[in-house]
Structure 1
């Protein structure tokens, strides 16, 4: 095998540099604009827009607001409120995620991921829209409850995928270096991304487990797991391409 000459190295370096400059030249000039200049929020974490154009904003302390259609609007509508339950106590706790059922326009189903205490746990629940077009807390149906050994690394993202299944992230449970080795333990839902079917409840659980989940047939493994070995998946998204 012949050694690579200095000329070859130089040509390769110049080629790579040329590509870098080309990429930089294609990046458009961006300017940050305050989307809602007349509104203020406390610890906003997530925004979601429905196909009908309505936009919702989630606050970590436990509230979800419907934002005004006009970006210069000065008022919001309180859509969901569990702040009295005090889900937020420490930095990574609180109301962490929300998702709207793909058929929300007809069934009014809304999903929330929030922290609970005594004992520490993460809860994923289904709610329904009630009178006035806001969430009725009395309709809560708990889908998952995951105990947490520490206050941090809770994950908290919930999304419906293109396949109509609900994907849920949960961190390894916290502290330094995953002391309970949750990340490599398929018998726990900590340190994973889960995939469940909210429209297929059974006599044993309030949701269904898709048959094509990777660990459905593995002895000792939780069938809900879609991916594992994850430190703390805080946010994720599906590529629309």
Structure 2
């Protein structure tokens, strides 16, 4: 019995030990390793819309993004308006050129620029569709003096492709200034021989001396300019000059294009300019009505049209031009072939608006009305006046004094302004010399067969007249400046009006 018990105990112990040799402990399983986290794409956290003021520079939108792994992020730009921007390595979006609300540069011209910004790293990429809206800011009119160095200026002409201006004086001096700064800096000048200069307060718009300047249509390459002035003998002529590097005329290059004979000592020219057809247009006055302005044999009181690129009169020192074949009297026996239109009294200033020529005719005397004429290409050969078949005025007015009596009045013909000053653009601007009054009428209202009276005039003195205390100078001319500006010339100086 005892032997049986001992054997059973031994078998039981053997079973509990499991037959192993490891000392009798419990075996623990090997644990499974934890997987490494995945590398995720960055997340863009900045907004999908933004605003940016027009004319501003610098960063327009800053992209912000985060990455869970802290990897370096690379930004790229694409989309409809991507060419308008640059994107820095840090995600800063900037305009290539400062945006202009009035001239949208986005694809659909609504001032909402649409681009896609992508943020990427080794783990992938994410993107947003950004809509950046350019907002309008209130533009302001800046008025600055640009010809303080001039004496009795008659005309200011911007020189193409630069910030320089040509300032022509009654006394024959042509000055060059640079308008890059707030005030124009004097650069150079040329004194032309204009003979005895007659100038006083009562006749400044029709003084002898220099009366007009016109740049050749190809001035940028030819450097040619034309001047209307009296000579030492008191006769009126048109001269051609080459320009020096500064823009001032070279006296050694002087070439007389047209000279009126001594039989017309009272003949004066008020204005010259090249038309869109490339021909030179010239207005002549009939100051004391010594001649018949309607006569086709007299150059007085006319619009002349000549071709300065040819010389059909090589033996005549007073004529260095040709007659355009389509001049209305090119083949009329006994008529001056230069005549384009006739019947003016005192053309003060004129200008082209497209193919149309707009002439201010100051008339003569206390009771004579001041008139503005619109000359279309189909009006060539006609006479100015109020009769049947004539070129009727589109503007006519007279002024009276405080007692209601006629007062001496002299129209200063102007221009149709096509620049960016909202209150003036699309309007014909003109003035009256003695009263110092400035007016505007919509250019679209200058229609043949309709004559506007003062009730249609809009006063613009508060816009174009400098606010300098005691400023009292009289107006002389208007011209269109660069970058949408307007230039107003007064007796004593000239001012540039810029909207920005």
TM-score (ref. length: structure 2): 0.38
Distance 2:265 2:239 in 1: 20
Equivalent residue for 1:89?
A: 198
Structure 2: gaps spanning 5 or more residues:
1-139, 356-500
Equivalent residue for 2:334?
A: 220
Matches within 5 A, 1:1-241: 33-36=143-146, 39-53=148-162, 54-73=164-183, 75-82=185-192, 85-90=194-199, 91=203, 92-118=207-233, 120-130=234-244, 133-147=247-261, 154-172=268-286, 174-175=287-288, 178-181=289-292, 183-202=293-312, 203-204=314-315, 205-240=319-354
Sort the Cα spacing of 1:211 and 1:74 in 2 relative to 1 into closer, same or farther, 3 A.
closer
Residues 308 and 321 of structure 2 are in contact (CA less than 8 Å); yes or no, is this contact kept in structure 1?
yes
SS in 2 for 1:156: strand
Deviation track 1:53-89 (CA, whole Å, cap 9, x = no partner) reads 432111111112222132424631234321x544523
Deviation track 1:97-145 (CA, whole Å, cap 9, x = no partner) reads 0011111121121110001243x31010111124665321121111111
SS in 2 for 1:124: strand
Deviation track 1:174-233 (CA, whole Å, cap 9, x = no partner) reads 22xx1332x022112111111111112223541111011111111111111111111121
More divergent stretch after superposition (85-94 vs 213-222): 85-94
Sort the Cα spacing of 1:80 and 1:163 in 2 relative to 1 into closer, same or farther, 3 A.
farther
Q: CA deviation at 1:31?
A: 6.8
Residues 93 and 152 of structure 1 are in contact (CA less than 8 Å); yes or no, is this contact kept in structure 2?
no
Sort the Cα spacing of 1:221 and 1:74 in 2 relative to 1 into closer, same or farther, 3 A.
closer
- Higher helix fraction: Structure 1 or Structure 2? 1
Distance 1:126 1:189 in 2: 20
Distance 2:351 2:334 in 1: 29
Structure 1: gaps spanning 5 or more residues:
1-29
Question: Based on CA coordinates, which of the two structures has the bigger radius of gyration?
Answer: 2
Number of corresponding residues: 205
Sort the Cα spacing of 1:35 and 1:74 in 2 relative to 1 into closer, same or farther, 3 A.
closer
CA RMSD of aligned residues (A): 2.6
Residues 177 and 188 of structure 2 are in contact (CA less than 8 Å); yes or no, is this contact kept in structure 1?
no
Sort the Cα spacing of 1:71 and 1:221 in 2 relative to 1 into closer, same or farther, 3 A.
farther
